[in-house]
Amino acid sequence: MTDDPTLLVKDRLTRLLDEGDRSDSVAFRGLQFDLGLAWVHFPEGRGGLDVSPRFQRDVDAALREARAPGPSTEHFFGLTMAGPTLVTHGSDELRDRLLRPMFTGEDPWCQLFSEPGAGSDLAGLSCRAVRDGDEWVITGQKVWNTLAHLADRGMLVARTDPDAPKHKGLTYFALDMHAPGVEVRPLRQITGEAEFNEVYMTEVRVPDADRIGEVGEGWRVAMTTLSNERTTIGGGGGPPAKGSGAIAEAVRIWKEEAVERTPAQKDRLMRLWVEAEALRLTNLRAAQKRKMGNPGPEGSIAKLKFATVNMDIYELCVDLLGSQALIDFDYTMRRSENLGLTGPPGSSRKMFLRARANSIEGGTSEIQRNIIGERVLGLPGEPRTDKDVPWKDVPRS
């Protein structure tokens, strides 16, 4: 085996394209995992080659050019959040058991964090997990769980010690979404779709072997998940091509469908194009500077800016369409199998509505500003009177 990472990645990629069965997505992606090209910065034997994450862009670009099988939308949470969390905090047995089917797409994942009474204040969650021998009995409710209706596994944070302060009494689990006592109910959105869900757990038995991280360390494990989520949302899943994404739809509408083209609207379009390009370049720079491991609070910058830029672009789109933006959209209740960060050409009517969620999902814009202020700028933290108080004694609505 060569010590040159460039030659190593190139050799493995050649083997994948020569030997992989492109007619069978699971088999092809299984070989990709075995060759260390799933997450190249992961350890060898865990889907990686222990090389810089920058090589992943080369791998992904080559596979796209070769029209090789790629992941579908329901695998988003596993690839971008559960995988990095598991490889960072999971046991060897758990990594061996869950990483490969996560990458091949055999086991889609979802995220089970927010609760009706603990949205932005994630550490205030009340979903309980009580130890019973080699199992945990979990009861509680989660909400805003994207694509949970398609998932086989869930990233679940539950309270295991109500006598500890709220940040210290949490534990992280890989929940089997098909276990007895798990119920997934759709949440209909303003678009008519039910992309989100609420998940109820009634005395669900989870093996201790499915615990990720140590008991009581759930907050620290969850921060790994959230930092990857914010970076992914902020970057739109990866540095996009120049002029692509939502701004491409705005330019298309300006050229093809705008009811009128005023100098003020043109100036607005140009300003948004510049903002979108600045965001893209910021994500490229962050990706290049990122060292091996998980992203830090800088992901909050990209996530915050993405939310505002995306909403502003789709607002311009419907303004350019004029009264035509009010028709030709189906609000019928339907189950969604797609994530609504950006949409294809012609989807601006839907995306104008869906983009409202960008300022909430993955951590609200208000929370991102707090993170940036405290962890990036070093400003004094917000007063937290319940920081050292046992969770059971903290007042709750």
Question: Given a cut of 90, is residue 22 above it in pLDDT?
Answer: yes
- Give whole-number Cα distances, 391 to 126, 293, 383, in Å: 9, 31, 17
pLDDT value for 121 = 85
Cα–Cα distance for residue pair 102/75, rounded to 1 Å: 8
* CA 40 remoteness from chain centre: 19
In this prediction, residues 45-53 reach a mean pLDDT of 93
Question: What residue ranges define each of the domains in the chain, with the CATH number in brackets?
Answer: 5-104 (1.10.540), 109-218 (2.40.110.10), 222-376 (1.20.140.10)
Greater confidence (295 vs 285) lies with: 285
Contact 236, 341 (CB under 8 A): yes
pLDDT value for 286 = 66
Tokens in use for 194?
């039910």
In this prediction, residues 343-366 reach a mean pLDDT of 87
Tokens in use for 204?
């669900």
- What share of the chain has pLDDT > 70, as a percent? 92
- Residue-wise pLDDT for 186-208, tens only, equals 999 888 889 899 999 999 999 99
pLDDT value for 155 = 98
Contact 144, 157 (CB under 8 A): no
Cα–Cα distance for residue pair 389/186, rounded to 1 Å: 35
Lowest mean pLDDT segment, chosen from 50-59, 151-160, 197-206, 236-245: 236-245
pLDDT value for 333 = 82
Contact 141, 127 (CB under 8 A): yes
- pLDDT band with cut points at 50, 70 and 90 for residue 95: very high
pLDDT value for 236 = 47
In the numeric block, the tokens 């302060």 are attached to: 165
> What is the model's pTM?
0.85
Cα–Cα distance for residue pair 12/18, rounded to 1 Å: 10
Cα–Cα distance for residue pair 36/50, rounded to 1 Å: 9
Complete DSSP assignment for 30-80: HHHHHTT-SSTTSPBTTTB-S--THHHHHHHHHHHHTT-----GGGHHIII
- Residue-wise pLDDT for 308-350, tens only, equals 999 999 999 999 999 999 888 888 888 876 666 777 888 899 9
Contact 164, 110 (CB under 8 A): no
Contacts with 271 (C-beta within 8 Å, 6 or more apart), sequence order:
none
- Residue-wise pLDDT for 105-162, tens only, equals 999 999 999 999 887 788 999 999 999 999 999 999 999 999 999 999 999 999 999 9
In this prediction, residues 6-11 reach a mean pLDDT of 95
pLDDT value for 332 = 84
Q: Which of 229, 249, 298, 361 is catalytic?
A: 229
Cα–Cα distance for residue pair 113/156, rounded to 1 Å: 6
Tokens in use for 106?
């055999």
198 catalytic residue (yes or no): no
- Residue-wise pLDDT for 256-270, tens only, equals 999 999 999 999 999
Question: Given a cut of 90, is residue 229 above it in pLDDT?
Answer: no
Question: Given a cut of 70, is residue 374 above it in pLDDT?
Answer: yes
- Give whole-number Cα distances, 109 to 73, 103, 221, 297, in Å: 11, 10, 16, 24
Cα–Cα distance for residue pair 66/196, rounded to 1 Å: 34
Question: Given a cut of 60, is residue 250 above it in pLDDT?
Answer: yes
In this prediction, residues 163-175 reach a mean pLDDT of 97
